[in-house]
Chain A
Amino acid sequence: MAKLDDIIIEDTPGKRVLLMGNQAIARGAIEAGLGLAAAYPGTPSSEIMETLATASPKLGFHTEWSTNEKVAFEVAAGGAIAGVRSLTSMKNAGLNWVMDMFMTLVYGGVRGGYVIVVADDPDAHYSSNEQDTRFAAAYAAIPCLEPANAQEAKEMCKYAFDLSERLELPVFIRSVTRISHASGDVELGKIEKRENKPVFDKHWKMGWRWNVYGPPGAVEKHRWLHEQQAKIKQEMENIPWNKLELKPKQTLGIIASGIGASYAKDALKKLGVEEKVAFLKLGTPTPVPEKIVGKMLKSMKKILIVEEGEPIIEMQVNAIAKNVAPEVKILGKQTGALPAIGEINIDIAAQGIAKLTGKTLLPDEAREKTRTGVKKLISPRSSTLCAGCPHLGSYWALKQALRKVGGKVPIVNGDIGCYEQGGYGLSGKEYKPSFATESVRYPIEAPYETLDTNYIMGGGIGLMQGQYHAKYNDGPLVAVAGDSTFFHACIPAVINAVYNKSKGLFLVMDNFITAMTGHQPDPCTGKTVTGEDTKVLNIEDVAKACGVEFIKTVDPFDLKATQQAIEEALKSDKFAVVITSRVCTLQAQRMKQYAAKRMVFNKDVCTGCRLCVALGCPAITFDTKTKKAGIDPILCVGCGICADVCPFGAIKVET
């Protein structure tokens, strides 16, 4: 099997290859003759753009990492309005950013095919929530496709462009972690050569088609969107992935979509009841094909709905059943047959199927007991910042500065990026709920206990301003964010802080790359998605242009200077921005930017005070028997900050 970069553009229909779901989606778009794609990185969606970007210079279409999902959505929508096949991709939370344009674009629709791919994350492996974005497709009144494996991910993406052009509306593809970040066998199809010639006609089939305010106005365009629903319903009945397997005399059935259908199929086989149960596999969870669902319900006594996320199919099937077969018993997430939270797997699907068939699956209690015993042996492997991570320096300096000038109870507001690990806590440590009526200060044993709040991209700096205007007075206010997050979502909030006279410290940890999602370039990297050189934007310049008066840029490996800058900022009576600026350690190693230094640890001098352990670097070790710290020579990259942390001179840089 050849290399992915070659496979993805190979025009060899029928060839079978292994593709990750995200790569398969990208391949589908390429087979459909894609003309433009824009996205912002977000796990588990990023590989869609990364894959497209490897192909775009060779095939001549445009790709970009946009500054955020909203911009990406609009860039792709602009392409589609001009008649060019366009795609945008994002993670679940990214969709929340695009809702404004999304809900309005559908009033006039598109001319070129527009495919919106959203990768949800049931079980919140990489996300701050488990939101089910299929509801957004229903909200915007456009069809949602949901693949069950990598092959379908490719086929559906290709199909979605045609469907989008037939309906003149964007089409939504909902992936999940177990599709996007799973791999499977994929048979390649033909790559369609399309001219993608941009055309513009402002009154195309409707007056002022691309301007909701232009006559006949938004309400008439809303009417048009409603008229399209009949066409959508018709399409759903004929979509190749809505497939009913119904045999005579079957009275039990499953309706399942996407990865849920794959789990359900495997579970049926595991339980050996494939012949007993009718199966409706849905490729369109919203809207469901009413006629096919109705046909199935008429011969059923009991059905189980297996879907990943919220019960959106279950709600629709219940509504259909009321009209065509009110006596059918419908099991699903609403009835507790399947859990309402977390993700499904074969075992959970099997539990649901057992309820459908009236069997009970009993656990092997002796085995469960043995398992519990074995689990006690398993040490956690906690997630940490990397050895040599510049954030370790930033967090250390912040902690020291807060200790010195932090008042009674400072508030540190977090944000999304590698540095969010500053709020992951320590494994094995119990954090009990408190019912205090006064502000409470908790010790910070390691950087992983620093962040007091954390929700979404760019959220921290806004929260900080609310805390200030609520007259919080028990300690200083801090917000942290990284460079990619700064450009993504923080600039309006910085302007707001200046305009509305907020105070507090905004600590920007600039490592010149979108590190957490896999080192994608951002506006301060100097490279585009395809590796082309581009202008480097400087965060200090941007902050200055936003009217910030107190700005300091420091090197987070210089702990003293960083601590001093933070202390000054905390004492300042102005809104203050401190930028800790240093390239991500993994990137620096890759680009061989490190001077090869070696750390030397003197055990005789070590007092066992554990200050270096509190730095949080994974290369620092501590022997509980000898009560001495040490350095793991394999993990250590020789950044040298631990030497500055040790007050006894036990750690030195070998010269």
Chain B
Amino acid sequence: MTELNLIIAGVGGQGSILASHIVAMAAIDEGLLARVGETFGAAMRGGAVASHVRIGNEVQSPLVPKDGADIVLALEPLEGLRNIVNFLKKDGVLITNIHPWLPVDVNIGRAEYPSMEAIKNAVQSLGGRVVEVDATAVAQEAGNIRTVNSVMLGALAATGELPFSMDALKQAIRDNVPPKTIDANIRAFELGFATMKK
């Protein structure tokens, strides 16, 4: 394995940065190099957030190059679209939660939210493919609506593209989520994994 370039996108408060740190920690624990570049706006809730994760034996800088992401993991569909347009590889994959978090611009009628169909077509027009996950529903099933990030990590692990073990990833989740939510997050991770295998 030479390199994995991953972008985890979402809305401030969904835990996309934490998810990216979990992936990077698991990689480091298994002897790889990892770089995480966080791109976000002002320190506010509800803003667009994207975290670039680069894993490999030789990675240097923290930002995924243009058309360089093997996978875009989107905790929110619009944020998935915002990131695939510049970063998804021609044969890359967008794994996206299907539950939108409407931006204020849409809420007040200044802009339109793209349909899931339009998002899928857009990804395909750029050569990629889309995997949809109802992560919000799965998180509810796991017993904690705030575990969407762990559901999506489960879906990510199910692709088999991660260059490290599931155990390392689960351990990184245990080490990093609030102690009271460890069980719910592990359950969410496993349900997310199972959803993809169905």
A residues bordering B, Cβ < 8 Å? 1-3, 16-18, 43, 125-126, 148-149, 178, 181-185, 259, 261-263, 265-266, 269-270, 345-347, 350, 367, 370-371, 373-375, 377-386, 418, 421, 426-428, 516-518, 586, 613, 618, 620-624, 632, 635
One of A2, A259, A624, A635 near B61 (C-beta < 8 A): A259
Chain B interface residue bracket vs A: 35 or more
Residues of B within 8 A of A632 (CB): 102, 107
For the A-B complex with A16-B28, A182-B37, A613-B108 known, give 17 more contacts whose Cβ atoms are closer than 8 Å.
A3-B175, A16-B29, A181-B37, A259-B61, A261-B60, A266-B61, A371-B85, A371-B86, A374-B125, A377-B81, A378-B78, A378-B114, A381-B103, A384-B46, A386-B45, A427-B105, A427-B111
One of A421, A586, A620 near B45 (C-beta < 8 A): A586
Residues of B within 8 A of A184 (CB): 33-36, 62
A-B contact pairs, 30 of them (CB 8 A): A1-B28, A1-B172, A2-B175, A125-B39, A148-B60, A149-B35, A183-B36, A185-B24, A185-B32, A185-B34, A259-B61, A262-B62, A263-B61, A266-B61, A367-B126, A377-B119, A381-B47, A381-B103, A381-B105, A382-B103, A383-B42, A383-B44, A384-B44, A418-B44, A427-B105, A427-B110, A427-B111, A586-B45, A618-B46, A635-B46
Q: Flag whether B164 is at the interface (Cβ < 8 A).
A: no
B108/A182 in contact, CB under 8 A = no
A347/B62 in contact, CB under 8 A = no
One of B37, B67, B112 near A178 (C-beta < 8 A): B37
Name which residue of chain B comes closest to A363, CB basis: B66
A178 and B60 CA atoms in complex are apart in Å by: 12
Given known contacts A182-B36, A371-B86, A377-B81, is B66 in contact with A428 (CB within 8 Å)?
Answer: no
B residues bordering A, Cβ < 8 Å? 11, 21, 24-25, 28-29, 32-39, 41-48, 58-63, 65-68, 78-79, 81-82, 85-86, 102-114, 118-119, 122, 125-126, 171-172, 175-176
Residues of A within 8 A of B66 (CB): 347
Chain A nearest CB, measured from B34 CB (Å): 5
B24/A382 in contact, CB under 8 A = no
Name which residue of chain A comes closest to B168, CB basis: A1
Chain B nearest CB, measured from A373 CB (Å): 7
Chain A nearest CB, measured from B56 CB (Å): 10
Residues of A within 8 A of B81 (CB): 374, 377-378
Chain B nearest CB, measured from A62 CB (Å): 26
Name which residue of chain B comes closest to A126, CB basis: B42
Given known contacts A184-B35, A428-B105, is B61 in contact with A18 (CB within 8 Å)?
Answer: no
Chain A nearest CB, measured from B156 CB (Å): 17
A380 and B105 CA atoms in complex are apart in Å by: 7
The 6 A-B residue pairs with the shortest CB-CB distance in the complex, in nearest-first order: A624-B109, A182-B62, A381-B103, A262-B61, A379-B111, A262-B60
One of A18, A266, A384 near B59 (C-beta < 8 A): A266
Given known contacts A371-B86, A622-B109, is B60 in contact with A381 (CB within 8 Å)?
Answer: no
A350 and B67 CA atoms in complex are apart in Å by: 14
A380 and B82 CA atoms in complex are apart in Å by: 9
A126 and B59 CA atoms in complex are apart in Å by: 26
Residues of B within 8 A of A384 (CB): 44, 46, 104
Name which residue of chain A comes closest to B171, CB basis: A1
Given known contacts A185-B34, A384-B44, is B105 in contact with A373 (CB within 8 Å)?
Answer: no
A269/B58 in contact, CB under 8 A = yes
Residues of B within 8 A of A16 (CB): 28-29
Given known contacts A184-B36, A346-B63, is B104 in contact with A18 (CB within 8 Å)?
Answer: no
Chain B nearest CB, measured from A587 CB (Å): 12
Chain B nearest CB, measured from A448 CB (Å): 10
B65/A347 in contact, CB under 8 A = yes
A370 and B90 CA atoms in complex are apart in Å by: 12
A550 and B104 CA atoms in complex are apart in Å by: 38
One of B38, B58, B118 near A181 (C-beta < 8 A): B38
B105/A379 in contact, CB under 8 A = yes
A621 and B11 CA atoms in complex are apart in Å by: 18
A344 and B1 CA atoms in complex are apart in Å by: 27
A181 and B60 CA atoms in complex are apart in Å by: 15
B78/A516 in contact, CB under 8 A = no
B63/A178 in contact, CB under 8 A = yes
Chain A nearest CB, measured from B71 CB (Å): 18
Name which residue of chain B comes closest to A367, CB basis: B126
Name which residue of chain A comes closest to B113, CB basis: A379
Residues of B within 8 A of A374 (CB): 81, 85, 122, 125-126
